Chains A and B, each alone.
Chain A
Amino acid sequence: MTAVVVDNVTKVFNQGRSDEVTALSDVELTVGDGEFVSLIGPSGCGKSTLLRLVADLIQPTTGTVTVAGKSADKARRDQDYGIAFQQAGLFEWRTVLRNVELPLELRGLKKAERRAKAEEMLALVGLADFAGHYPAQLSGGMQQRVAIARALAVQPPLLLMDEPFGALDEMTRERLQTELLGICAKTGTSTVFVTHSISEAVFLSTKVVVMSARPGRITASIDVDLPARDEAARQSEKYFEHVTAVRQALRGVPAKSAT
């Protein structure tokens, strides 16, 4: 079963008004099970819109979105995905642990059960010692890790991330990228990851989807296969080849020859 199928989707905002915008036009996207797909493109290319369509935060004007074999709406109701945004968006009145517990709470899990699961997730992102802290006591990077733990708490088959590391410094960013890969490998989660960093997209993804603006559409889809994804991989020739390929695709040079 495929994690996400976006079939011939067009999204028009403010339809029929003078400020009508076509955010996405004829988009086709498939994310296989366990795949890590990055959406990259200039701002205004609709990459976040595409992610939000998958999350059922907005509905397509035409076309269909299928998540885990169901309609996007049904998948959302079943909590078939976890989501993280650029801002951690933690609830400041809840401790770190209770933030991670929230999606489980809304699923109606028993207290002991959700506590155990939340603690497990916090351990996964390396914040077990901070369970009793309030979000305001944590650094930006730590807050983002809590947000990821929260997104993973229901152990969803799909993880949606909208520039989750965008507001972080380079060092923290690279550490969290490695952590995220480890988590995805451990849990077998499929991921759709929005970014505007080429290096981040290549390092993380099995597939990089390149988009262009006005109207937003997919211009290239580049498969990335790196033998390993560790610090050494960031220096490897293969890595830079893919970076170049993505960069050329973003500039509109035919990408196929580069890979």
Chain B
Amino acid sequence: MKFLRSVLPPLVVGVAAIAAWQLTVTLGRIAPFILPAPSAIWAELVEQKQNVWEAGLASGENALIGLVAGAILGVLAAMAASRFRPLAEVSIPFAAFVSALPIIALAPILNNMFEATSSIPRRLVAAIIVFFPVFLNTLRGLREVDPIHQELMHTYAASGWTFARKVRLPGALPYVFTGLRQASSLAVIAAVVAEYFGGLQDGLGSRITSAASFTAYPRAWAFVVGACLLGLAFYLTTLLLERLAMPWRTRLIS
């Protein structure tokens, strides 16, 4: 019942929006190159499902590798910065500044640094974009330690490393996942958009540009839908991991 009440309203709104879209396009006789009808996109999606799936896998692999690498680096860098205060003081404003830059703009430059068939540039862009939210959030979490926990560990004569492992890291987990949730969607966006700038043509991004350049707009939209689903899959997987990693929180909800 509760599930139904939380799921039903967005579902109704979504269906209504698609219906309105369909009606506007068909009744308003809007040219398909401006906006194709949902039915046309759906038909294209069904027809191209093998291609969408394969392109999604290619982009997904890039996004995943970028996400994992960027997240690991982000957590490690945050640990280092929380351990050495001067490092944090230098890196926080720096990281905040760099994360405000359009890192995606690096894609064409990185493409030129590697050979044309390399997937590395796209993965690099994803990793760089993922790094900052994970780094900043984790660092905040690592710095916020309950003073009582600190004193308790002192009375247990715990070493710095034990303290980090048993208190700082688990205490920072909620923050890490806040960062990862942002990063998971960003990784997909980065991996897809990076393909717009050349490089290996096997992912969703390159399929969208090539379909659009052939004026096959419904097909382009079908790949856009594929990109949406990919981003959603990443986000939901992160949510699931968050629940699994922090059972003390899910038990609270249930």
A85: chain B residues at CB < 8 Å are: 148, 151
B246 touches A106 (CB 8 A): no
Give the contacts of B157-192 with A (CB-CB under 8 A): 157-158, 162, 166-167, 170-171, 173
A103 touches B156 (CB 8 A): yes
Closest to A83 in B: B155
Would you call B243 an interface residue if the criterion is a C-beta within 8 Å of the partner chain's C-beta atoms?
Answer: no
Partner among A57, A76, A89 whose Cβ is within 8 Å of the Cβ of B146:
A89
Q: What distance in Å separates the Cβ of B87 from its nearest Cβ neighbour in chain A?
A: 26
Would you call A134 an interface residue if the criterion is a C-beta within 8 Å of the partner chain's C-beta atoms?
Answer: yes
**Known contacts A85-B148, A87-B148, A102-B166; A93/B248 CB under 8 A:** yes
Give the contacts of B70-105 with A (CB-CB under 8 A): none
B158: chain A residues at CB < 8 Å are: 106
A57: chain B residues at CB < 8 Å are: 151, 154-155
Interface size class of B (residues with CB under 8 A): 20 to 34
Q: What distance in Å separates the Cβ of B130 from its nearest Cβ neighbour in chain A?
A: 24
A92 touches B155 (CB 8 A): no
Closest to A55 in B: B155
**Known contacts A103-B156, A136-B248; A91/B148 CB under 8 A:** no
B152: chain A residues at CB < 8 Å are: 83, 89
Partner among A92, A102, A103 whose Cβ is within 8 Å of the Cβ of B248:
A92
B156 touches A93 (CB 8 A): no
A93 touches B155 (CB 8 A): no
Would you call B251 an interface residue if the criterion is a C-beta within 8 Å of the partner chain's C-beta atoms?
Answer: yes
* Interchain CA distance A106-B152 in the complex, whole Å: 12
Quick one: CB contact mask for A36-58 with B, threshold 8 Å, 1 for yes?
A: 00000000000000000001110
Would you call B109 an interface residue if the criterion is a C-beta within 8 Å of the partner chain's C-beta atoms?
Answer: no
Closest to B155 in A: A83
Q: What distance in Å separates the Cβ of B222 from its nearest Cβ neighbour in chain A?
A: 44
Would you call A61 an interface residue if the criterion is a C-beta within 8 Å of the partner chain's C-beta atoms?
Answer: no
A106: chain B residues at CB < 8 Å are: 156-158, 162
Would you call A195 an interface residue if the criterion is a C-beta within 8 Å of the partner chain's C-beta atoms?
Answer: no
Q: What distance in Å separates the Cβ of B169 from its nearest Cβ neighbour in chain A?
A: 10
B167: chain A residues at CB < 8 Å are: 91
Would you call B13 an interface residue if the criterion is a C-beta within 8 Å of the partner chain's C-beta atoms?
Answer: no
B162 touches A93 (CB 8 A): no
* Interchain CA distance A137-B247 in the complex, whole Å: 12
Q: What distance in Å separates the Cβ of A194 from its nearest Cβ neighbour in chain B?
A: 14
Would you call A79 an interface residue if the criterion is a C-beta within 8 Å of the partner chain's C-beta atoms?
Answer: yes
Q: What distance in Å separates the Cβ of A170 from its nearest Cβ neighbour in chain B?
A: 24
A56: chain B residues at CB < 8 Å are: 155
A135: chain B residues at CB < 8 Å are: 248
A81, A91, A95, A105 — most chain B CB neighbours (10 Å): A91
* Interchain CA distance A87-B246 in the complex, whole Å: 23
B252 touches A77 (CB 8 A): no
B248 touches A76 (CB 8 A): no
Quick one: CB contact mask for A128-172 with B, threshold 8 Å, 1 for yes?
A: 000000111100000000000000000000000000000000000
B251 touches A134 (CB 8 A): yes
Closest to B147 in A: A89
Give the contacts of A85-105 with B (CB-CB under 8 A): 85, 87, 89, 91-95, 102-103, 105
A136: chain B residues at CB < 8 Å are: 248, 252
A137 touches B252 (CB 8 A): yes
Q: A57-B155, A93-B171, A137-B252 are in contact. List 4 more A-B contacts (CB 8 A).
A: A79-B157, A91-B167, A91-B170, A102-B166
Q: List 18 A-B contacts (CB under 8 A).
A: A57-B151, A57-B155, A76-B154, A83-B152, A87-B148, A89-B146, A89-B149, A91-B167, A92-B248, A93-B170, A93-B246, A94-B248, A95-B248, A103-B156, A106-B162, A134-B247, A134-B252, A136-B252
